Each structure stands twice: as structure tokens, then as C-alpha cells.
Chains A and B, each alone.
Chain A
Amino acid sequence: GAVVSQHPSRVICKSGTSVKIECRSLDFQATTMFWYRQFPKKSLMLMATSNEGSKATYEQGVEKDKFLINHASLTLSTLTVTSAHPEDSSFYICSAKGTGGTDTQYFGPGTRLTVL
């Protein structure tokens, strides 16, 4: 149980384009999903927290107009990187926390974004 999927696993795009990453909880309902970014050999950096049906809460320094987050259902959250630039190239990982009082986060497999 507690499986989280991400799609795509890898994406290469041209500078200036937008990329959408999907995060799905496959066997549980996730009231809260988290989006992280990780640069090579660096630690996880929390970008934002999204609760189903409400606006995401962004961490300090993360541009909400650049990283659009939608959490429209209890099993799906999306992150859209708008007008991507090479410095946005990174490993983006989502995690989900289920209902029922548990505070355990389960991570998706990650999406490696390369912006040319």
C-alpha cells in the first residue's frame, strides 16, 4: 500500500516552454501533497504544500507564478513549471500524506527535468 506515482519520469524541454508534472496517490486518498526539488548531491528542498481543494502554500523564495500547483482531487496534484529556463533543471519529487490521521509521507519516484 501507499504507492505514489509521478509522470513523466523524465522530460527534456526547450527554454521558455511549460512543463506539467503529475503526482498521483494510487491506493490511498491524499489530503496533502508536497512538492520538493533536489539538485545533484544536495538535500531535498520543500517547494510547496498543497491541500485538496485549496491554494498551495509556497515556501519562502519559491515563485508561485512560476511553479503552479493544482490539487483538484484527493488522488492528483500537478506542478507546472512555466516558462522553464535551464536553471529550473532539477529532480522534482512529490510526496503524499494520507487521510486517517497518519503523518507519514510517501514519495513518488521523481521527475527529472532538463531544460535546454
Chain B
Amino acid sequence: QKEVEQNSGPLSVPEGAIASLNCTYSDRVSQSFFWYRQYSGKSPELIMSIYSNGDKEDGRFTAQLNKASQYVSLLIRDSQPSDSATYLCAVNGDKIIFGKGTRLHILP
């Protein structure tokens, strides 16, 4: 059974701090990795995609991938209350599998 694991949270982070979201996956042949943000009652929206080991930065977001450890993370710098949402990790091997999401709460 191919799995994508995320801590369900809630993860509480003070405004302005760095939020760190983690994800592990079981399928070693996975090639593509995605982070989606989902606000309550809304559909997921793509934040980042990452395909190779290392860091990928886009504004306040940094995705980190370590294929040897089967680990992908998302860092959010200068966290804002508007970042409060559920963050879904998705991993694509022969099919895309979503984690159950981590609820992030930014404390004003």
C-alpha cells in the first residue's frame, strides 16, 4: 500500500515565524511532489511542485525534497494569519497520492 503521511496537526505558529510542514512517502519510485493549500470549504490550490533533491524557493515558500529519506517539506517564512489552512502533500509515482493534510494555525 503506497502511502503519504502527514501530521494532522493543528500546528500553531506565531505570526512572523517560520512554519515547517513535513511529509513522508513510501513509494521509492515517486518522481513528482506537490504541496497544495486548502482553506476550509474550498478546493485545494497548488502552491509548489518539486521534482529533484534540494530546495526550491518561491516567495515566502520553500519546498525541500530528500528522495533518499523519502521526505518532503514545506517552509513558510514570515507566516501570516492568511496562511492558516490545511496543507496537503501529494506524491506522484504511477498515480498521485494525497496525504490527509496538516492543519496550520497562525497565531496573530
Contact = CB atoms under 8 A, between A and B. Distances in A.
A108 B43 CA distance: 7
A104 B90 CA distance: 10
B101 A106 contact: no
Nearest to A112: B41
B96 A109 contact: no
Contacts of B96: 103, 105
A107 interface: yes
A106 B46 CA distance: 7
Interface in B57-108: 88, 90, 92, 95-96, 98-101
Nearest to A111: B43
B54 interface: no
Nearest to A94: B43
Given A103-B32, A104-B34, A93 B101 contact: no
A110 interface: yes
Contacts of A105: 34, 46, 90, 96
B45 interface: yes
Nearest to A6: B43
A103 B43 contact: no
B32 to A, nearest CB: 5
Nearest to B97: A46
B100 A110 contact: no
Given A93-B43, A108-B43, A110-B43, A103 B101 contact: no
Contact of B43 (A43, A104, A107): A107
B48 to A, nearest CB: 10
B44 A103 contact: no
A79 to B, nearest CB: 14
A91 B99 CA distance: 18
Contacts of B41: 91
Interface of A: 43-44, 46, 49, 91, 93, 103-110
